[in-house]
Chains A and B, each alone.
Chain A
Amino acid sequence: MRGSNAVKFFSILLIIGILTWIAAYGSILGFEIPGVKDIRTGIDIQGGVDARLYAVTKDNSKAKAEDLDAARITIGKRLDSKNIFDRVITVDKDKGYILVQIPHKKGEAFDPQKSIEEIGKTALLTFQEVDESKKDANGNYLPTNKIILEGGDVKDATPEVDGENGGYCVSLKLSSEGGKKFSEATGRLIGKPIAIFMDNDLISAPNVQTQITGTSARITLGGTASDEQREEAKNLAGLIKSGSLPFKLEARQVNNISPTLGSNALNVSINAFIVALILICFFMIFYYRLPGLIASIALILHTVMELLALSWTHIIVTLPGIAGLILTIGMAVDANVIIFERIKDELKNGKTLHAAIDVGFKRAFSAVLDSNVTTLISAIVLWKFGTGPIQSFAYTLGIGVVLSFITAVTASRIMLKSIQDIEVAKHHWLYGVSMRGGKANG
């Protein structure tokens, strides 16, 4: 092996080694890099609940996007107060539903149905007078039940840029009844705070600056405008609106999976993954000998890169996703099969090893490309149209196909070409061609 070839060959092995290390330990030389442990798994593996809460309006009209968003913020706040931070809440504005996914947590007595029911309820929103002596351990005001306004009194709450004080504010529109109550209270409480509660959680306690007459009011956040502050204003507006949303949320699709069922499935599919990987490597080495061994090394690179791709993009991996992962290790070596068969053909036709390897990779490329493009089309369409679990399959399938170009085509070529000059590696037997030559038939 000439110097530069040795460098190429061993740098690929080194890359595989480093990536495998990262995947296994999640850190290298003290740097934290997400590895296999950081891969997020779906509720079909972790256990948990997945529900679509549909916004049902009184007159069956379509729920407004900003109202759905307010409901999403409310649900998030409610889950916060239950200490459920690991969750996914997304809004489908066209179809008018909120998708809530809550994975199961170890050692947590968690009743999915009850939580789904609770988080979907209309929030009890109140503006209350404050008793300075009643605070919880964190210094937050506790409810006094001296209620100034209720959810129904607030017609709308929107985040706005505060023209006078800078920064953002939340602008409130009150009903005429609410306006009267608010005017009376703000007249009485100038300089004092008014606490806003959702359910029993304090969400804000602005100070009354002047008496507010009429039906509009403003809660200023002060400070300078920033993205965080805009987000804060949006959240506050959403929470205040939660008491007066013009729809109720109904769970029309619920899927709940116990953690035991999920972890069983995970164990089984990990075993299947390992067995499939070993069998494919055996098959390749048995059938293609030296190139087969190279393909197996490339396949390990493929596997590790795919696992890291899942970990780094925070894609949620589901059972179909794992099936896709396993399927793509079978598909990844397809390119190797096409290329190695071509090399065999060329060797049988009397070409030198150098020429055969060059021609093999060059000639096989278009066939490899075509068969991969069609699979990629399927994966992309599936990603676009599928829901959760199937999207995960689309992702692993798509990534697997793209990575196979890097591993089965590029990495295999570099490795194979860098060892072609070693004396031992020149035996045609190692490429699956008998030394006596013979007619091409394979």
Chain B
Amino acid sequence: MVNLYAKRYYFFILSALIILSGVVMYLVEGFKLDIEFEGGTIIEMRANDKMFTEANTQDLQTKIADFVTNTINKPAKVQKSTSYDVNGTNTKSFDIITISIGSENTLSNTELTKVEEAVVKEFKLNAKDAVVSEESVEPFIGKEIMNNGLKAVVIAFVLIILYVWYRFKAMSGLSAGVFAVVGVLHDLLIMLSVYVIFQIPLNESFIAAILTVVGYSMNDTVIIYDRIRENNRLLRKVPLPELVNSSIIQTLNRSINTVVTSLIAITTVYIFSRVNGINSMEQFSFPLIIGISAGCYSSIFIASPLYVMWKESQKKKKISGKPAKA
């Protein structure tokens, strides 16, 4: 039987490395906020076919940006991207011009119209379906939405921890509860690292993804601890590291398969949205893939070994404590 417990430090190091890179990225770049949280304006417009060529993309982007800046007297950035029309089996690609304006210069409704009309006229876009999407949020409203979301994360986290604590305390003692919670915290940190490392903009989807992972994270921990408890009754003489190790191995199939089915679902969403250029879904599903995997990983490789280490150190204390008393 593979001894996972003996190799525990490799797993600890792997997690630590991911979280550390997250911390470094945070110090260097910080979190990227979506306009939903930060405020600002983003307008997406449909470019004409063959308007952009390999050669002129850079120039045209600058040209449009300058034009918008002159029109409303506020600095604008322009980025070209590709999107798809999906209609049955026919998929047609088209270019999208994304005009973004920083939060300190959020456009009013009137300015939005002005920019769009001017760009349509100047660059001869098809007026009928030029505007693909537009979003404009004033910074203080963004802040309000973000604070609301963070409040939700904190509340859900506290509730889940209370529940886990309560359930595991009853089942396997206080220390099991503590380490189950450590597992959840680990998954939360991995999620945050993913967002900061890949610079995925934080918006309400981020709140939803975090809460889903935190909620789902308990899945495998429950399975493993359940088996540890049962084996504890059956195999009283087996030392704890070995007992936990065999409990993990015995339940490995189900720990992995529960996660695999969820991963099949969310990875399908990721692949479909990535291939078809549906940004919002792509940015929502990618962190979920990592977070759900992390939940499985932490139950097997983090929460359970830590629990054993703690129990062992307690035992040593008791043993070494006895002669001193005698």
Contact = CB atoms under 8 A, between A and B. Distances in A.
Interface of A: 44, 52, 54, 95, 113-114, 116-117, 251-258, 260-261, 264-265, 267-269, 271-272, 275-276, 279-280, 283-284, 287, 319-320, 323, 326-331, 333-334, 337-338, 341, 345, 366-367, 370-371, 373-379, 381-382, 384-387, 389-390, 393-394, 397, 440-442
A375 B253 contact: no
Given A269-B281, A378-B156, A393 B208 contact: yes
A252 B138 contact: yes
B261 A269 contact: no
A197 to B, nearest CB: 26
Contacts of B262: 327, 330-331, 334
B249 to A, nearest CB: 7
A157 to B, nearest CB: 29
Contacts of A269: 269, 272-273, 278, 281
B85 interface: yes
Contact of A261 (B87, B133, B148): B133
Instruction: For chain B, give the interface size range.
Output: 35 or more
Contacts of A386: 149, 152, 204, 207-208
Contacts of B163: 373-374, 377
B272 A389 contact: no
Q: Is the interface of A mostly helix, strand, loop or mixed?
A: helix
A394 B148 contact: no
A338 B132 contact: no
Nearest to B224: A367
A341 B256 CA distance: 12
Q: Is the interface of B mostly helix, strand, loop or mixed?
A: helix
Interface in B57-111: 83-87, 108-110
A271 to B, nearest CB: 6
A330 B265 contact: yes
Nearest to A379: B215
Contact of A254 (B85, B136, B272, B276): B136
A222 B184 CA distance: 64
Contacts of A328: 265
Contact of B222 (A251, A255, A371, A397): A371
Contact of A265 (B149, B207, B249, B281): B281
A113 B112 contact: yes
B284 A320 contact: yes
B260 A283 contact: yes
A338 to B, nearest CB: 5
B226 interface: yes
Contacts of A271: 272
B216 interface: yes
B85 A260 contact: yes
Interface of B: 44, 83-87, 108-110, 112-113, 129, 131-138, 141, 144-145, 148-149, 151-152, 155-156, 159-160, 163-164, 167, 204-205, 207-208, 211-212, 214-219, 222-223, 226, 249-254, 257-258, 260-266, 268-269, 271-273, 276, 278, 280-281, 284-285, 288
Given A254-B135, A275-B272, A390-B204, A370 B218 contact: yes
A341 B257 CA distance: 10
A283 B256 CA distance: 13
Contact of B269 (A54, A251, A272, A389): A272
Which residue of B108, B109, B159 has the most chain A CB atoms within 10 A of its CB atom? Answer: B109
A441 B250 contact: yes
Nearest to A338: B254
Given A319-B278, A378-B156, A390-B208, 13 more contacts: A52-B141, A268-B276, A268-B281, A272-B272, A280-B265, A287-B257, A327-B288, A331-B265, A338-B258, A374-B160, A377-B159, A381-B211, A394-B208
Contacts of A114: 113
Which residue of B217, B258, B260 has the most chain A CB atoms within 10 A of its CB atom? Answer: B258
Across chains A and B, which 3 residue pairs bring their CB atoms closest together, nearest first? A330-B265, A378-B215, A385-B152
